Chain A
Amino acid sequence: MFWEVVRYTPGLFALDLVLQLFRSGIPLIPGLIVREVLNELSDGSSVDGAVDTAVWLLLAFLVGAVLARLTALLFCVAVDETCEARGQGLLVRNGFSRILAAPGAQRPRHARGDLVSRLTGDSRSVSQVVVYTFMVIGAGFQAALALVVMFSIDPLVTLVVCVPMAAGGVLITIASVRIRKYHAQSREAAGDVSAFLGEMYNSVRTIQLGNAQSRVLGRFRELNESRRRRTLKSRLFTDVFLGSVWTNTSTLATGVVLVLAAQGFGSGRFTVGDLALFVVYVGWTSDFTALFSQNLALFKQSAASVKRLTDAVPGPPDELVAHRVPDVPEPERVALSRLSVTGLTHRFDGGGGVSEVDFEVARGEFVVITGRVGAGKTTLLRTVLGLLPRQAGTVTWNGTEVDELVPPLTAYTPQLPHLTSETVRDNILEGLPADRRHLDLAVHSAVLERDLSALDDGLDTLLGPKGAKLSGGQAQRVAAARMFARDPELLVFDDVSSALDVDTERQLWERLFARAGVTCLAVSHRRAAFERASRIVVLRAGRVHAVGTLADLLAGDAEMRHLWQADTRQSAMAQE
């Protein structure tokens, strides 16, 4: 998976690698220059008072090298961030497309907040690790280069210096298991505190009435104390232990250089410039050890992120890194003459669903699906549209089997539509070209014009989170306008009038049937719908109980009579 992220933008990552090498290589130059300057100065016996022009030149070089390094650094950071964002973007886009490719009404395996955090957070950590690895490669290059330079100056000192650094690296790697364990424990203790606070503030009345304030406080103190102890333990390992190992390896190495240099100085084998260079280069090299072991830890963590991602996203894991996501093809418009549903079945694991449902909708008809609560009305609509998988049975459009019904064949208004926080216009159009007349027509059909004029900015009103600005009935009609705007062959809507007042409902039906040649399939339990229906399909416990015109059913079917009566009572209450 990591490799595929690199291969998605190969040019970018190649550029990143080159820049990493520059960014890491250039910092070595000042060390060399300082060494030269110090060496030049230390055997200054030859010069009397006047400063060698070579020294000035070297100092100018020093400033140049730092400027070059900063340029390389800033470019490199820009490319690093771009690489990271591209990698994350790839995973987010693919993951999201995969989720959208699953049947639309199927409940995802994970809670939404969790899904969002997996899609954003976990894909970031995967992508981060890739970029981080490139950084480690750069740092490795730097360390290798530093070792080569040091080796060329004094092989013995270099070899001896490597010992404490290697030991430090091993120590850090070994300790990282412990560190993670303690870190997890301290996070857990912190979680306990927050959880207890949450329970406590949700139960303030219970606590106050039970005179339990002081005892609850005692409990809170205990949890706090446990968090303090665990956090300290974790800190002891990360800050104190790791910090010590880290600083000590490089200072110990410096100490070793001093001890070894003590002999070399006498013989002139080792100079002050060499000492300065070794002190700086030892620092760079031990940075690499630390970076490397950190990367190992990150790599392990990101393996968990990969798993969390692939768990959350349906479909094979390698599709998560697919480089191209083709657009979903839109079906061609085929004028509806007959929609046939045969033997359609979708059963839920926990019970419920629909079984072996047959019915037909011919052009120009208005077919109503009805039944009591839990009879399977919504499930039936969803299964017909392909929003839930069909476990058995077929749906045909003019005799041709179709898997999924979408515009321009059908458009759909769910029972509880989910609008976005954008403007009313965006919610209705959702990507359609913004044709004013077309939009007005959809608004008219959905009886929205009065509501729109009451909103501050009309069609341009931002709906806010969860469509906060709209009532339930308004949200349903915005969704209906979205359906009308698609001008489909067949309108499919679920209980669209349930949250409407009597007047608006009447207008909605009138305008619907004023549309030329309209064909509808609707779930409803309203008399107004029954009265206009060409045919009514009565569901009972997931099966077709009866089919017929209102008059036939009222005459011959007790269930239908019950449903008809139920609506009288409801409207009586609504009018009260």
Chain B
Amino acid sequence: MSRSIALLRQYLAPHWRKATALAVLVLLNAGLSVAIPLMLGRFVDTAQTGGEVRALLVIAGTFIGLTLVNQVIVSTAAYHSEDLGWLATNRMRADLVGHTLDLDQDFHQRHTPGELIERVDGDVTTLAQFFSSFVFHVLGNTLLAIGIVVASFFLDWRIGLVLLTFGVAAVLVLRRTQHVAVPYFTALRQTNADLSGFLEERLAATEDIRGNGTRNHVVGRLTGLLDELTRSMRRAGVASRASSSALELSVALATVGILALGSVLLGAGTMTLGALYVGYHYAGLLSMTLFKISYRIDQLQLAVASVGRIAEIHDRPSAVVDGPGADLPAGPLSVAYRDVSFAYTEGKPALREVSFELAPGETMGLLGRTGSGKTTVGRLLYRGQDAGAGQILVGGVDVRELTLEQLRSRVAVVTQDVRLFAASVRDNLTLFDDTVPDERIVAAIAEVGLAGWLDALPEGLDTPIGEGGGALSAGESQLLAFARVFLGEPDVVILDEASSRLDPATERLTQGAQQRLLAGRTAIVIAHHLATVRCLDHIVVLDDGRIVESGRREHLTDDPGSRYSALLAGVGA
């Protein structure tokens, strides 16, 4: 709860003007809602004492006028409280997104995109509803409820007493009955989930069902589930009316109380008919108000749970943080690994004392079976994660000395897992950087051999490409990923080579672009095709996280006992 209030304060503070205006409107609304029924009382009393028609018309006019003003206030307040909720929580969303985007790979491997969306958007939206409804509905209605009771005391202390008693009783009844329906709703949700699950599984298994003649059985099971659904819905429906029914009954009792009181006092001449009428009207208004409060207060619990989950992400530090920053020499950079070890989980090392050196502009092929640690070697270089022991140097500087931006503006990675956004070609290539001139983008596209493809696009660079690269072939996506790297002009390239999912023609195309990409750059190529490796300077073979062979490629080729030459000979491929 204190965390919620801290968040509330942090994100509402910049909008204090709006918040204050809103508070004033809410106050005005409560005041008018209390005052308007008083007009009806005045009207009745004036009529009762034989007042002039003119006076009655004035009261009627005031009633209409105040009602309209109040409506304007309610509408304005509703609109602005919604706006305030969105303004405040949009900032919170942006802060959370910014934070999660800076978090390390380990975090992103543990949390699925679906889960993060639920936190950043789902939980924050719950919070937004809480902001707007709590501020507006709960506070406003509480004010109104207090106002009604106070006003009724001014009207006639005995009516005030009846309404106060009713109010307290109603709150107790509501608190009691409010949760009656919860278990029934949980059961209903479960039944619905069971039904969906049943249908989903059976629709997947139509071949099994038909091939084994179990249709009747399956439809029979479905009928059983539907019967259960009927029972659940009936129970939940009735239970959900428990609260409002109990409230309705207590309103009736309050009405009876006020009318009975009135009939005694009116006879004795100590109360006016108008006051009685207002009391009667207030009883209904008060019950409505209390019902709204109790309904909204439930959201509070949801909001608190959301805040807890949001805070968890908000407070999670990144395992990979900026170094102090250092100068890197211009041009191609050297790369050196010195006794680098790393484990994703303790006791299961993924890399063991890996060492190698590449002079500026040299290229290296990394070979080894799946799980031998090839990808990890690359990941440590761009600081997707940090090495557990040992040192990684780029241009003679420890990667942890550099800021992440410095490092990543010089080191680029291309993998076969190409991610595209539902955005224009331009935005996909520059990653939303508006400052990159079109000529450079066009040049990069030409460099990877997609000039013809670009010419065929209806809106050129502005052509939208779909989510996950809808209209693009696997090969085209791969080439666009290369184009992204060309635009970045990196000095070190890590290439996790595309495997066999490309057709031979496209593969030849990507091979060409790949060669141009590596020219004049220091590169580590995680290779699947021996064809690529044939143009590289060094070869390193990994097995179980350890370097089992390394050397200049031509030396290994000439050594008939080497693993590399065995690979070339096609054994164990």
Contacts and interface: CB of A to CB of B under 8 A. Distances in A.
Interface string B442-459: 000000000000000000
B238 A197 contact: no
Contacts of A473: none
A81 interface: yes
A15 to B, nearest CB: 13
A198 B281 CA distance: 52
A218 to B, nearest CB: 7
Interface stretch (A250-258, A294-302, A502-510): A250-258
A99 to B, nearest CB: 7
Contacts of A500: none
B201 interface: yes
A215 B432 contact: yes
B60 A203 contact: no
A211 interface: yes
B356 interface: no
A116 B196 contact: yes
B328 interface: no
Contacts of A208: 101-102, 384, 404, 408
B212 A483 contact: yes
Contact of A205 (B57, B63, B83, B384): B384
B368 to A, nearest CB: 18
A93 B219 contact: yes
B25 to A, nearest CB: 13
A44 B233 contact: no
Interface string A46-72: 011111100110010011001101100
Contact of B405 (A211, A236, A266): A211
A244 B79 CA distance: 12
Given A49-B268, A120-B195, A244 B75 contact: yes
Interface in B195-219: 195-197, 199-219
Contacts of A47: 267
Interface in B77-117: 78-79, 82-83, 86-87, 90, 93-94, 97-98, 100-102, 105, 108, 113-114, 116-117
A204 B277 CA distance: 65
A531 interface: no
B555 to A, nearest CB: 30
A49 B256 CA distance: 19
Nearest to A231: B86
A149 to B, nearest CB: 19
A85 B202 CA distance: 21
Interface string B423-449: 100010001110000000000000000
A430 B63 contact: no
Nearest to A62: B256
Nearest to A404: B210
Contact of A255 (B63, B113, B226, B488): B63
Contacts of B468: 199
A88 B219 CA distance: 15
Interface in B214-257: 214-220, 222-223, 226-227, 229-230, 233-234, 236-238, 241, 245, 248-249, 252-253, 255-256
B412 interface: yes
Contact of B249 (A67, A92, A120, A406): A67
A197 B273 contact: no
A119 interface: yes
Given A203-B421, A255-B64, A116 B203 contact: yes
B422 interface: yes
B68 A100 contact: no
B90 A221 contact: yes
Contact of B212 (A48, A70, A241, A406): A406
9 contacts: A88-B226, A89-B229, A93-B223, A104-B209, A203-B421, A258-B56, A261-B56, A272-B44, A421-B197
* Pairs of residues from A and B, 5 with the lowest C-beta to C-beta distance, nearest first: A431-B217, A104-B210, A412-B211, A406-B213, A201-B113
Given A265-B47, A421-B197, 16 more contacts: A41-B266, A70-B249, A89-B230, A104-B206, A112-B200, A113-B200, A120-B192, A197-B116, A210-B408, A217-B94, A219-B423, A259-B61, A262-B53, A266-B47, A272-B44, A414-B208
